[in-house]
Structure 1
Amino acid sequence: MGLWVIRLQRLLSAAWLGSMLSLAALVAPAAFALLPRAQAGDLMRRLFEYDARLSLAAGVLLLLLQRKRQVAQDESSDESRRAAVISWELVCPLLALLCTVAGFYALQPLMEQARAGQGAWTFGQLHAVSSVFYAFKLLAVAVLALRLSGPQALPGSARP
């Protein structure tokens, strides 16, 4: 298997992590510092929608690339050295996808209802739950990027 798969995984996971960190640590605080609260909320809602779409695409692509790596490793190794079907490089994107679906796609309609004064939960409560999902997604992508950046990610390297 060529190194292009590993390089693409590294690049994609690092770009995904950078995008998420920028959104949470730079864009959101700046938006609420510079814009009226309602406009900042509208802007951030739109940007988190883009983040959710990017997360779905990046997560699925990283899953496919990791499966490609595992299949190539299985074909090139003997029976006793087969790659584990479940690895951190599969678990992390799956967890990030789960957090995206739950934290954005499931909660966003509820947050709209809460904003309109409907539903059992307040907007603040739903925002807190959404923030926790985003933090877990960020952690999963960070772990993935770190695992892919180490020498153990290269073919033929020993894995701890």
Structure 2
Amino acid sequence: MARAELMARAQRLLPALWAGALACVGLIATPAPFAMLAVHDAGRVVSRILAQEAWLSLAAGVGVLLLARLRARADAQAGRGSAFSTDMVLALATVFCTVAGYFAIQPLLPAARAGQGPFSFGQLHLASASFFVLKALLVLVLAWRASR
């Protein structure tokens, strides 16, 4: 199998798998502990799930970005477009949502839970959840574009 064929398959498969993982996390894995455990324990379980999802999303986002960059470069060299593609913008946006939604907000949550800091726990939770939903939508767009 040629290198270009493998890259094309990876470019179609990775966003679809990533979208499925985000759907599982958002719709199944994070609500379930709150249905079965005390709120404090459920929060700890969900915190661990979201930490793993954040690292997975960083890896997937960088992977999609690299694949999109390789394809954009090949298309530009063939005279079929720019070296900077829409898929690259979408991948960069997903990485931004992961960094802002998890790595920037997560360290602020313990202080907010204790009533300290400029933002309440609810505000930070809403911001983090909004970044997660936006990331999921961007990944769905990536998967849809890859299926063309």
Shift of 1:52: 0.7
Match of 2:17 in 1: 15
Q: Does 1:51 align with 2:73?
A: no
Two-structure CA RMSD over aligned residues (Å): 1.3
CA contact under 8 A between 2:90 and 2:142: conserved in structure 1? yes
Within a 5 Å distance, the mapping from 1:10-159 to structure 2 comes to: 10-75=12-77, 77=78, 81-150=79-148
Q: Distance in 2 between matches of 1:144 and 1:58?
A: 12
Shift of 1:74: 2.8
Per-residue CA deviations over 1:104-128 (Å, capped at 9, x if unaligned) read 0100011121112211111111100
Number of residues of Structure 1 aligned to a counterpart in Structure 2: 146
CA contact under 8 A between 1:95 and 1:137: conserved in structure 2? yes
Q: Distance in 2 between matches of 1:83 and 1:44?
A: 43
Match of 1:156 in 2: none
Per-residue CA deviations over 1:56-100 (Å, capped at 9, x if unaligned) read 11111111111111222233x2xxx33223322111111100000
Per-residue CA deviations over 1:116-150 (Å, capped at 9, x if unaligned) read 22111111111001111111101110000000011
Q: Distance in 2 between matches of 1:133 and 1:66?
A: 22
Shift of 1:26: 0.9
Unaligned runs of 5+ in 1: 151-160
CA contact under 8 A between 1:88 and 1:144: conserved in structure 2? no
Identify if the C-alpha distance between structure 1 residues 52 and 138 changes in structure 2 by more than 3 Å, giving closer, same or farther.
same
Identify if the C-alpha distance between structure 1 residues 14 and 20 changes in structure 2 by more than 3 Å, giving closer, same or farther.
same
Letter in 2 for 1:113: A
The TM-score, its normalising length taken from structure 1, stands at 0.86
Letter in 1 for 2:145: R
CA contact under 8 A between 1:74 and 1:82: conserved in structure 2? yes
Q: Percent identity?
A: 44
